[in-house]
């Protein structure tokens, strides 16, 4: 691409034109536009880095299964705080980590089993391991208490997604 020129796949721009409207309608439209979430990588076409149809189905079914098992630990906001997760953010992270390929997972049942096993491994970690070193703890007692009460630790960071071996209990 030359300077100031868009690649051909980016050269097409869709513009939506609205009829003149009152201030109330403009505010409503502005609010609606600002609530829109960007399309996640997993949902893009496969040739643009998104998941293929089979991978997307496996990841989606597994994430929804996890949400059904731990409903209080999933929040609608993509920027929810630990120990919570957002189902779409989880789907995206599972895809970005290439987990199915790295773990040779070929079904949603296998992925759910792996996620639950990983959750159990994380649950075995003592609270000191979650707090971290230093004067400011990584996770507060309230966050750890909720994770222990609900039995859900996958929302305490995503390092477990990128670990090549077993999840450390330290």
Query: Would you state the pLDDT for residue 12?
Result: 75
| Tens digits of residue pLDDT in 2-42 | 566 767 776 777 788 888 899 999 899 888 888 777 778 88
Q: Which pTM does this prediction carry?
A: 0.75
CB 64 within 8 A of CB 87: yes
pLDDT per position as a tens digit, 146-159? 999 999 999 999 99
Distance between CA atoms of 115 and 12, rounded to whole angstroms? 40
Residues in contact with 137: Cβ distance below 8 Å, sequence separation at least 6, in sequence order: 131
């Amino acid at each position: 691409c030359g300077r100031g020129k868009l690649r051909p796949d980016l050269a097409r721009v869709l513009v939506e034109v609205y009829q003149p409207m009152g201030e109330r309608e403009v505010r409503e439209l502005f609010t609606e536009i600002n609530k829109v979430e960007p399309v996640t990588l997993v949902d893009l076409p496969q040739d643009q880095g998104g998941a293929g149809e089979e991978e997307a189905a496996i990841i989606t079914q597994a994430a929804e299964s996890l949400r059904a098992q731990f409903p209080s630990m999933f929040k609608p906001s993509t920027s929810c705080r630990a120990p919570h997760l957002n189902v779409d953010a989880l789907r995206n992270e599972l895809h970005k980590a290439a987990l199915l390929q790295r773990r040779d997972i070929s079904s949603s049942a296998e992925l759910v089993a792996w996620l639950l096993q990983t959750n159990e491994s994380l649950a075995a970690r003592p609270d000191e391991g979650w707090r971290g070193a230093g004067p400011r703890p990584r996770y507060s007692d309230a966050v750890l208490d909720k994770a222990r009460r609900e039995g859900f630790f996958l929302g305490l960071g995503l390092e477990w997604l990128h670990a090549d071996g077993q999840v450390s209990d330290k």
